[in-house]
Homo-oligomer: A and B are copies of this chain.
Amino acid sequence: MVGHAETQRGAPTATIERLCRYQQVLAQLERDGVKTVSSGEIGRLVATNAAQVRKDLSHFGEFGTRGLGYSVTELRARLRGILGLGERRNIAIIGAGNLGSALADYPGFEGRGFNVIAVFDNNPAKIGHRRHGMRVRPLGELATVARETGIDIAVIAVPEPAAQSVADTVIAAGVSAILNFAPKHLHAPPQIVIRNVNMTSQLEYLSYFLALGEGPPEEGA
């Protein structure tokens, strides 16, 4: 959902999105025992092309050997380094409704180093109940958890009217990265990274192809 703004290192945000996908297909290739891969093959697997793969990687130095392709293991390790995926990240989920509960149990997080350490809600009917094996905590305890355990990323899964106030609480607690599921633009100081997931946009994107009445482009997983 991010445009082509430049990061301070000069890589467009769309490049970072694609690096995440390259890393994922490399992980799959590694599991499949594949040793080397070409930029064309990576491109095919993520629905882009060889030139785009090479251009994206060129932001971060030299990779691979012309004519021989990339070592799967080596390229994956370097992408993991660039994306900071070596470290475990502590995730706090705010909102213990259906969406927050689904995210707390999302099977892909733990194996990828994203550790859901707390679930918060302001609803007394939800506080104390268990989600993902943890007691739902009142939002007022967020600052304490941030200070004592550390929260790297806050996931906002609350109704739209509460989203900004939750974001303010999260930011005041010193959390610098937010994944926002509320269909609302959040105001935040420039040093805070916010990633918005807009479900309606996903359907609108599909609508274009329905309107076209034609086949889709290829798509990566």
Contacts and interface: CB of A to CB of B under 8 A. Distances in A.
Nearest to A157: B102
Interface stretch (A105-113, A118-126, A165-173): A105-113
Interface residues of A, number: 88
Interface in A146-174: 152-153, 159-160
A179 B198 contact: no
Interface in A175-221: 176-179, 183-186, 190-212, 214-221
B221 A4 contact: no
Contact of A195 (B46, B52, B202): B202
Nearest to A89: B207
B206 A193 contact: yes
Nearest to A200: B108
A33 interface: no
B6 A217 contact: yes
Contacts of A41: none
Interface string A55-90: 000000000000000000000000000111101010
Contacts of A185: 220-221
A204 B3 contact: no
Contacts of A47: 2-5, 13
Interface of A: 1-9, 13-14, 16-21, 23-24, 43, 46-49, 52, 82-85, 87, 89, 91, 97-99, 101-103, 105-109, 112, 114, 152-153, 159-160, 176-179, 183-186, 190-212, 214-221
Given A3-B217, A84-B210, A193-B215, 16 more contacts: A3-B47, A3-B48, A3-B218, A5-B219, A19-B208, A85-B204, A87-B211, A89-B210, A99-B102, A153-B203, A153-B210, A177-B210, A185-B220, A194-B219, A195-B219, A197-B197
